[in-house]
Structure 1
Amino acid sequence: MAGDTDFSGKRVLVVGGSSGIGNGIAHGFRERGAAVHVWGTRANVSDYDPADGSDLTGLGYTCVDVGDPDAIAAAPMPFDGLDVLVLCQGTVVYKRGEFERAGWDRVMAVNLDSLMHCASKFCEQLAAARGSVIIVSSISGLKANIGNPAYAASKAGAISLTKTLGQAWAPMGIRVNGLAPGLVDTKLTKVTTQHPDRLAGALARIPDGRMGTPADMAGTAIFLASPLASYVTGHTVIVDGGLSL
């Protein structure tokens, strides 16, 4: 069974892999032998703060603003082929900013539109490798999200896109699946995690009694990209400690 999660010789790109969940997933693959490259938003590796959950040790890096389709198109290919594409990009606008056009447009561009643009860019390489795509959405895509209409709608769209691409690309040998995290301690969730009352209320709703970690998400991503999930196509696995039950 251990060999099923050995990614030695495999090439993995994690979009949004510079911090948080994406960074945890990137290191999960690296620790299992893969060559891993990440895309992030800052100009240089040195611009990332380890306190924000950024560890780029052993990872390749390219700065790409995935909210801009032209930037995705112009970005260099990280390898001469690709076995696994993890789409973990995401942003959110608080203080009701997503009810305004600028906030809505930015969140939808990064959280939903860029998924299709990135997947299309690497489709040919993934087909040649009979590879795998993993789309990271959120349990916010399964319900309402107070104050964040674009975030919730974009994540619902990501779950739907996972189904549709899974169906469309399976004949090419590409498996498309996803994972939907619950509450994970990252820079995007500081609005909850750094407020003791909000955090206590959130933990009280999680049957497992704790927040998720990037490593928890990595475990599911590794499973989905491995031969263990060879007959899983188009599905999004909920990884939330029971929060959405």
Structure 2
Amino acid sequence: MTYCIGIRLKEGLVFCSDSRTNAGPDRVSTYGKLHRFSLPGERQLMLMTAGNLATSQAVVAQIERDLREDASFNVAKAQYVSDIADYIGKLGLNEQKKYASGGPGAGFNAEATYILGGQIKGQPTELYLVYPEGNHITVSEQYPFLQIGETKYGKPILDRIIRPDTDHETAMRCALVSMDSTMRSNATVGPPIELLYYAADTLADPAEYCRFEENDEYLVSLRRAWDDNIRRAFNDLPSLQAVFDRDL
């Protein structure tokens, strides 16, 4: 399992991913889930992956091969980021077909899910979730974020904090808290944690990128501050005693 978050703000795009893979209790390792495709001044694209590692690795390898060999369609030729989302969906389906019922590895779950975001010159920033079936969705105006992998533990903080006009510093901290909450509740999600911010309309390599190991000083201080403040907020909740007294 894994956990990845993509956020679309007026300021730009935020991406956060873990790096843990789990193929059983004896096969836990790390593998980066955040991939970048950069043509400075022309386009900046970020891709995060969750699900079957073999499928996602093959899809990323094919994207790189098509770009290197100048295929008839590649990420450098697309007019819109949505076109690239369609392309990734097709690549994923092609990989999954290798394990379709009746073929080699029948019954093997080869599904993978992706978050694709970025900007092409002359277009706004875009953010998409690409499903294993090949189709995709984008963010809503009210909740401008997407999640893949183990999503349930980290969603409440995103629901409460993230809005289109949220500043990117706040969004990045929120993404880290969301990630930490997920790691706390699910051992299959874990560091290193990658965090990236792309500023809209720069079309340059992201200037703000961090990679956090498990005992990173900032990550530890963030976790402690969050825990302390949650306890403080809980202790400040209205007492139930007034309800009991009212109903006497």
**TM-score normalised over the length of structure 1:** 0.30
Higher relative contact order (CA 8 A, sep 6+): 2
Larger proportion of helix: 1
Greater radius of gyration (CA): 2
**TM-score normalised over the length of structure 2:** 0.30
